[in-house]
Amino acid sequence: MNRRSDARPLSNEAFLAKLRREGAARYHDRHPFHLRMHQGKLTKRQLQQWVLNRYYYQTRIPIKDALILSKSEDPAFRRVWIRRVRDQDGDDAATGGLDSWLILARGVGLDPDEVRSLRSVLPGVRLACDGYVQFVREASLLEAVASSLTELFAPTLMSRRLDAWGRHYPWVGSGALTYFRMRVSRADLDARHAVSFVMREATTRERQTACIEALIKKAAILWHLLDCIQADCVRPSANGRNAHARFPRQASA
């Protein structure tokens, strides 16, 4: 990694191209668990395990975004960024992203209260998501914003996911997929705002390098989350069938 302070900053075009290249190469759309999901190869229980564990990630998002808010001295920045907290928490108890995720949980046959309780979240998933919050807590505002740039790749993944779920898992029902539908445009909007901030603030090569490293770190966190889910529920058992360890309660209705 080039840390020389006399290296000239990349142009915005070259910097953004490098962010895209480094991020895309590591983004979790390529993870074997996602590939299996998109090919329709996940069982109902594996899909449930993903939904249950990913909820923990969702609950960390508004917390890390509140940390980012607290790092900014700029009302204009905060005015835009605070929308991310509201997007997840909603204006009331039934309108936010977290609630949409619980509708998804019910759609895949899970008990939303069980999911909300977080008590069945895998330890490794907890560590990965807490690692994201910890990173943002300790990072500069610029690095923290740069770490959100995995969202550059999220709209394409959401569209692919919507298509795959409609095709391969029709039993889930289209109404349960509102969260993904909503994220296609929201992630795009969020990423655009984050990109313009990063382009404006990363004025030296060192800062640009720190942004790229932050994005790589975040991509690794998302990847590790899926590694944990896969290790728990996709690993082959001795007789060649998938093992389903420690499974949460099913929805009663």
Ligand X SMILES: O=C(O)c1cc(C(=O)O)c2c(n1)C(=O)C(=O)c1cc(C(=O)O)[nH]c1-2
Distance CA 203, CA 205 (A): 7
Which positions from 33 to 72 touch ligand X by CB under 6 A, shown as an x/- string?
----------------------------x-----------
Distance CA 45, CA 250 (A): 10
Which pair of structure tokens corresponds to residue 15?
A: 């910097």
**Residues within window 17-36 making contact with ligand X, judged by CB under 6 A:** none
Scanning 110-118, 148-156, 200-208, 236-244 for contacts with ligand X by CB under 6 A, the matching segment is 148-156
Rg (CA), the chain: 19
- Number of chain residues interacting with ligand X (CB under 6 A): 7
**Residue 100 binds ligand X (CB under 6 A):** no
**Residue 211 binds ligand X (CB under 6 A):** no
Among positions 141, 154, 215, 229, the unique one binding ligand X when judged by CB under 6 A: 154
19 or 205: CB nearest ligand X: 19
Three-state DSSP class for residue 236: strand
**Residues within window 168-187 making contact with ligand X, judged by CB under 6 A:** 183
183 or 224: CB nearest ligand X: 183
Distance CA 229, CA 251 (A): 20
Q: What share of the chain is helix, strand, coil (3-state, %, to 5)?
A: 75, 0, 25
C-alpha neighbours within 13 Å on the C-beta side of residue 131: 16
For binding to ligand X (CB under 6 A), which residues are involved?
A: 61, 148, 150-151, 154, 157, 183
